[in-house]
Structure 1
Amino acid sequence: MRFRFERNSGFFGRVAVAASVAAIGVLALSASPAAAGPTPDYGIDFVVIGDPGNRHVNFDEGRRFYPPFAPEDFRVGTVNYKYRMSRTEVTVGQWLEFVNAYRPYYDGPTNWSEFTSNWIVYDAGLGRYRAIAGAENFAANMGWRYAARFCNWLHNGKVGEQWAFENGAYDASTFGRDDNGNYTEQRERNAGAKFWIPSFDEWIKAMHWDPNKDDGEGGYWRYPTSSDDMPIAGPPGSGDTNTQTGMMYDVGSYPHVTSPWGLLDGSGGVSEWNETVATESGWRFVKGTGANLGQPFDLIDRFNGLGPTSSFPGLRLAGIIPSPGSTIGVVVGMLTIHRRRRR
């Protein structure tokens, strides 16, 4: 199935209205947020994504970002500011801390994967949630709404009060559906967010853009492994990814396979939520592959789209670059691709 594009009054102008493997491009909607004072990392290993103003994906690098699969004016991959991405996906252990912190305010089914992931269960004897033994360092899966609340919680310093989960990066009061069944979640993060779900452009750049490719001219690799060749599926030590193997391993189990910026597990682990709205009904882009998802989705111009209540994808955090004692404000040129600057 191909995407069918229709005119829309929102920022994107056109939106995809059918889920498919055919990819389209969208521009990052919000500027790099302001940072006031030091921002803790909470033990998460972040990598700076530099080279602001990088060019977009060209036709030879990602043909499905161009007609007949996408409108003529869509462009993908340009990000005009520096930002950070977590080196790996959020782990079950990291997610467990959030699940137990949010538990007093949670009113859904006890072991609901949208909230708990597939690897966390409630233990009545302990009176709290726990991870399934051996899964603590697997990549966690979750719904988009809970991924957004996780970002809110980090933004607010892991405060245990309900307000800390309901706003900060995303306003949870917007989470719902309208009379037509469309999802109503806000389209992009709040200005000033410290942690967020990466946009489609931010994800593409962090996984595929290499400023040093082609003798320093810069370019996009077709796979999130600093390569134009499909990674080899197999267990750690013999393969490059667990994609379509049906087996889960700890994050970072393929340390020799990285994006140009040093990110791990761009292929495999779990597919990853993006912030960017993909369809008129409010589905979000999902990028990458997982243990049960085929390798073609590793290609730069292939992706999925899912509603925010799906629990299939996981989360790779994006965040500001902290500047202790100062405030950073970055204005993004939304419709102009700036001349690329070196890292």
Structure 2
Amino acid sequence: MAEKGMPMRFVSSRTRFSMAVVATCGVSALLAVSATADSSAAATEPRPPGSVTSGDGAVITVTTAKVGAPGNPSVGVVPFTDAVYRSCADAPATSSDCQMVGGVGYPYEIGQLEVTVEQWVAFLNTVDPEGRNRHALYIETESSSGWPKYGQVDFSADADNGSHYSVGYPEWADKPYGFANFLDAARFVNSLYNGRLISKRISNNGRFDYVTYRVRLSERTERGMYDLARPDATRAHDSGFVVPSQDEWIKAAYYDPSGGGTFSYWKYPTNPGVFGDGDATAPNPTVLNPTTGDVTNAATQPLASYHATDQPAPSWCPGQVQPDTCSTVNPIGLDPITYPDLYEGSLGTVGQARTTSPWGTLDQGGNAVEWTDTITAPPSGRDFGRVWRRLHGGISNAPAFQMWPSAVGLQPQDNVFYSHTYPWLGIRIGVIGDLTHGKP
């Protein structure tokens, strides 16, 4: 089906909003059928990384999964179809939009987890210590008062320098930051790139290799890995922190170096599934504690935070908020009947679904959709001066097909409308080359 950008207005029915959610990944969707699934082993539940404000910048900890097998084959996908192909020559003749994805010719690393609200707040207080918001990194929509159910970050004009931003409610600290556009993601990565690497520790849990970095963030956000004076910024260096590319993201989520799945690609980042069987072999949906957002059914594997057919979306609201406030108050002006129908799914605590991808990452299926740095042509063929980037991952408010490798979505990198109204846009960092201890 033809690719489409996210619609620029909300709709009032569940069916039409579901279509809008599909378009979050930038394309129309087609459901097919599925059959059996091999469940991936549940990972030991990681401790969400925290931050420490210290010196002239916060210190944060990020853990990456090592992705090897350089030179792996790509696979052909037609956007939002329930299939993969050895090459686009094998795709149906009518599939003019087939593309080859997932092949990466070098080893690299990708975040084990999504960037959390706590990490984002540490970043905000580092790069905007005076609370001036020069780069529009903060909007009132994401405050706990502006949006009781989804507000992650609060701002206080009267706070001391370096403390203007805070986590909205404590329960949000270990959830994915969900209001990002690509420029936000690039600035976060530039702060890491320009920061000081305090320590680097390599670990192995028997199946997967991880690297844990402690980094003192830098105030410098406009140049680093990405020169944001250029709207179409690409990687400026061959080593350092990055926003993953589409191929890097897809390989980490789906490519099985042991040959599982179809042409060595899984259907979901949680389990091989069966291409062609719709959502029959989709992972189980998470169930969230209604007041904390913690996953309560982690023993049910494989598992992902998404909106399964005929089941409620995983949802919660901070216990400090009255239920009627949570279900009615919103910054968009939606009425109390329409609002809870359109905004169902919530972001769960990072890593608690516990089901790993073939390389040991968590939550690449469901929770928040994630940016890549891959630039793509706009769906209409006319960019109107905007730069479009690819996204991946599905969300807690969307069906299983958004977790397929063919969910090659796209969005303008600076979509102001969705920054204000879409609380499921997340960030996962990557690393290319070799980061050296003590790098300034």
- The TM-score range, normalised by the shorter chain, is 0.7 to 0.9
CA contact (8 A) 1:21 1:302 kept: no
Q: Given the superposition, is the C-alpha separation of residues 159 and 203 from structure 1 closer, same or farther in structure 2, using an over 3 Å criterion?
A: closer
| Deviation of the 1:22 alpha carbon | 6.1
Tell which deviates more after alignment, 78-87 or 242-251: 242-251
Which residue identity is paired with 1:268?
G
Q: Distance in 1 between matches of 2:100 and 2:2?
A: 18
Q: Distance in 1 between matches of 2:138 and 2:102?
A: 39
SS in 2 for 1:166: coil
| Deviation of the 1:80 alpha carbon | 0.3
* Aligned twin of 1:21: 28
Q: Distance in 1 between matches of 2:369 and 2:227?
A: 24
Residue from 123, 128, 131 that aligns with 2:167: 131
Q: Distance in 2 between matches of 1:91 and 1:322?
A: 24
Which residue identity is paired with 1:150?
F
Tell which deviates more after alignment, 93-102 or 315-324: 315-324
Q: Given the superposition, is the C-alpha separation of residues 232 and 288 from structure 1 closer, same or farther in structure 2, using an over 3 Å criterion?
A: same
Which residue identity is paired with 2:191?
W
CA contact (8 A) 2:373 2:389 kept: yes
Tell which deviates more after alignment, 88-97 or 245-254: 245-254
* Aligned twin of 1:80: 105
Q: Distance in 1 between matches of 2:368 and 2:137?
A: 23
* Aligned twin of 1:303: 408
| Deviation of the 1:143 alpha carbon | 1.3
CA contact (8 A) 2:260 2:266 kept: no
Residue from 330, 339, 362 that aligns with 1:264: 362
Which residue identity is paired with 1:132?
G
Q: Distance in 2 between matches of 1:171 and 1:53?
A: 28
Which residue identity is paired with 2:430?
A
* Aligned twin of 1:169: 225
SS in 1 for 2:221: helix
Q: Distance in 1 between matches of 2:63 and 2:227?
A: 26
Q: Distance in 2 between matches of 1:49 and 1:93?
A: 26
1:223-262 equivalent positions in 2, closer than 5 A? 223-228=268-273, 229-235=281-287, 236-238=295-297, 240-244=303-307, 245=313, 246-255=345-354, 257-262=355-360
Q: Distance in 2 between matches of 1:226 and 1:205?
A: 14
CA contact (8 A) 2:192 2:218 kept: no
Q: Given the superposition, is the C-alpha separation of residues 91 and 323 from structure 1 closer, same or farther in structure 2, using an over 3 Å criterion?
A: closer
Q: Given the superposition, is the C-alpha separation of residues 264 and 113 from structure 1 closer, same or farther in structure 2, using an over 3 Å criterion?
A: farther
**Structure 1 regions of 5+ residues with no counterpart?**
5-17, 24-40, 176-184, 326-343
Q: Given the superposition, is the C-alpha separation of residues 237 and 156 from structure 1 closer, same or farther in structure 2, using an over 3 Å criterion?
A: same
CA contact (8 A) 2:239 2:435 kept: no
Which residue identity is paired with 1:270?
A
* Aligned twin of 2:12: none
CA contact (8 A) 1:21 1:304 kept: no
* Aligned twin of 1:51: 69
Q: Distance in 2 between matches of 1:207 and 1:285?
A: 15
| Deviation of the 1:132 alpha carbon | 1.3
Q: Distance in 1 between matches of 2:251 and 2:260?
A: 16
Q: Distance in 1 between matches of 2:29 and 2:243?
A: 22
| Deviation of the 1:88 alpha carbon | 0.6
Deviations 1:259-318 (A, max 9, x none): 000100011220000111122422111101122222210011123211112334211111
1:208 aligns with 2:287: no
CA contact (8 A) 1:19 1:304 kept: yes
Q: Given the superposition, is the C-alpha separation of residues 265 and 189 from structure 1 closer, same or farther in structure 2, using an over 3 Å criterion?
A: same
**Structure 2 regions of 5+ residues with no counterpart?**
5-24, 31-58, 145-149, 196-215, 274-280, 288-294, 308-312, 314-344
* Aligned twin of 1:90: 115
* Aligned twin of 1:3: 3
Cα RMSD (Å) of the superposition? 3.2
CA contact (8 A) 1:155 1:193 kept: no
Q: Distance in 1 between matches of 2:235 and 2:367?
A: 25
Q: Distance in 1 between matches of 2:401 and 2:244?
A: 21
| Deviation of the 1:81 alpha carbon | 0.1
For normalisation by structure 1, the TM-score amounts to 0.73
Residue from 398, 405, 428 that aligns with 1:316: 428
CA contact (8 A) 2:369 2:391 kept: yes
| Structure with max Cα Rg | 2
Q: Given the superposition, is the C-alpha separation of residues 91 and 44 from structure 1 closer, same or farther in structure 2, using an over 3 Å criterion?
A: same
Residue from 66, 69, 74 that aligns with 2:95: 69
CA contact (8 A) 2:238 2:433 kept: no
Residue from 122, 133, 137 that aligns with 1:106: 133
For normalisation by structure 2, the TM-score amounts to 0.58
Q: Given the superposition, is the C-alpha separation of residues 288 and 21 from structure 1 closer, same or farther in structure 2, using an over 3 Å criterion?
A: farther
- Give the % identical residues: 28
Q: Distance in 2 between matches of 1:21 and 1:264?
A: 26
Q: Distance in 2 between matches of 1:285 and 1:297?
A: 13
Number of aligned positions between the proteins: 281
1:288 aligns with 2:403: no
Which residue identity is paired with 1:120?
V
